Structure 1
Amino acid sequence: IKRLYNYILHRRLHAEGVQRALTAPDKASQDSKPAMFAALALAELDKVRRRQIERVCPLDYLSVDTIRRCLQDCQLGAYAEQQWIWEQMERYDAMLMTCITKRDDALSKYDWSITVKPDLDDRDSLLAESQQRTITDLCNAIVNMDEAITALSQASRRHYKFLQPYADGDGLHLLPVDNWLMCRDGYRGPWGYNPNAQFSRYRGEPLPVPLEDLILRLHPRPIDMPAQMLVLNRSTTLAQWDVFLERLGTPPAFFVLPPDCSEELRQEYIKMSAMCYSAATGVIDHDSDIKSIPISQTSVDLFDRRYKVATEE
């Protein structure tokens, strides 16, 4: 909204011209639409070149080393891999997905409005009210205004979000730009375009549309930054817990063979022990014995407490 306001204020876009653009979708009348509403959608460019990112599931190799490498890349302005990890993490981690869904649902219940700054003198008040009507008309004409505001909220989780003003035969739109298509030459350097979503790339190409015509929301403390470590802690704890239960959930048992056991009988014992381990039944020689090793229940409790701590955090 602020970017739209500045555009209208500085370029003197009149309400009459906006209305002409909204009521005449044919190409000949598109000259009256705001110049920042381009006819070129970034989301549709180079889709074939970046198809390789869709074949990568970062959750398969997510580790402390991966997170450390991604954080180092982000310091340079290479965001593609980190943003792709967050995209997949938000979709597949049940707890994080629930939190995001609740936030988006709450945000969707609010309506937007253009307000006039209070305590203006008469001259500025009249000008502000005229600007308010113009901007309200323009925002009402944006087809996906509510969805665009919800998309901007993604910056709270992922550090930034770009929207592209776009115009087609259906009207005016604010299209979300995938975060992995943007990079930055340095921690606070200029923004660039990463059409291939190439990992570790921080020096991008010039944007096909002017950068000043994009709407950017930047958040200095993204939620997904600490969340990814907590997600890793919980998933790692569960994986290690599963391995522990698989190996030691059934108490180990060792068969004591009778004296002077032949190799043939020894193989029969090995076969029988495998059957017993799989909850089958069988018989053993009268002279043989079975030694079981009890497993302390405190080991399982340690995993349970670790998982609860990670979940609460």
Structure 2
Amino acid sequence: MHLPVPRGDLSRELANALLCNPSGEHAAYLATVATGRLASASDVLDDGDLQLSLFMLYELHYRGFAGVDDRWEWNPGLISLRAQIEEAFERALREAAGPVPSVEPSSSEVAQALFALAASDAGPSVSKFIQRKANAAQAREFLILKSIYQLKEADPHTWAIPKLQGRAKAAMVEIQADEYGNGHLPRMHSELFRQTMRGMGLRDDFGAYIDRIPAVTLAAVNMISLFGMHRRHRGAITGHLALYEMTSSIPQAAYARGFRRLGYGSAVTDYFDEHVEADAVHEQIAGRDLAGGLAEDEPELVPGILFGAQAAAAVDALAGAQYLDAWEAGSSALLAGAGAGAGAGAVA
């Protein structure tokens, strides 16, 4: 993908550095800029400069950027910079998630706590809006917002596999294998989403709309990378995935109905239809075998499992509220930017 348009001093200096040869000089200066930005940030989760910078730092470990030297991936200065931002980001996530309940480290107790959290979700329902009220333009925006994760679906959670063992590892592999289409490219969920984007006349290359993605949406994606990349967060990444699977099947059915209401056929709805069935199965595996199995093998990780699930729910609620506020007001949920005209989303 292309380097994003900067959203402040830190992302601007980071983008400039990435276009140069890796060096300690650039990274040292970036650390100074980051210190100032973090000191002035009032809401890390909704700070476009910080979230875009963190996204760029993480993306070096995925597909990278056009014109950027791959040696930046493990540049010590950038790793240190990332740690600076991650520390503030984790504090913000813990504040948003709230205190975690005390739960016995058994498969049944942890699964029950996660199912209860999923059932208690009272956040804004984007799925109901798409099903009942969204117009075609809002439906396209919804897909653009989802694309920054869905076009690399499963990759951030896959970081957890080598960090797990036993029952939890087997459960994670089972879920992820399904996400990757069990080895069949057309059935990979990211490929199905790519088909949906094309069916709506949108570009299907990862990161094509990065400059239109709001900070809180980036925060939701960055959260998965934070949890997945750090071994100390292996509890949080399992809790995050478990809650995602537990709260997916019913909304996916609503999305499918919404797109059919707008007149779109299987080329657009296959992605959602696939998740209705797959996630109904995954939720049991994720709750009882993945999260529950990890809790029994490593009881000390139970608070982390619950934190990951609660953080996922909290950040998704923040993002959903932002989208719905914009749509209900007749505004766009996307950032204004280059190519924001009527033809901005057309397939190249």
Q: Tell me: higher relative CO, structure 1 or 2? Use CA pairs within 8 A at least 6 residues apart.
A: 2
Instruction: Sort the TM-score into its range (normalised by shorter chain).
Output: under 0.3
- Rg larger in structure: 1
Structure in which a larger fraction of residues adopt strand: 1
TM-score, normalised with respect to structure 1: 0.20
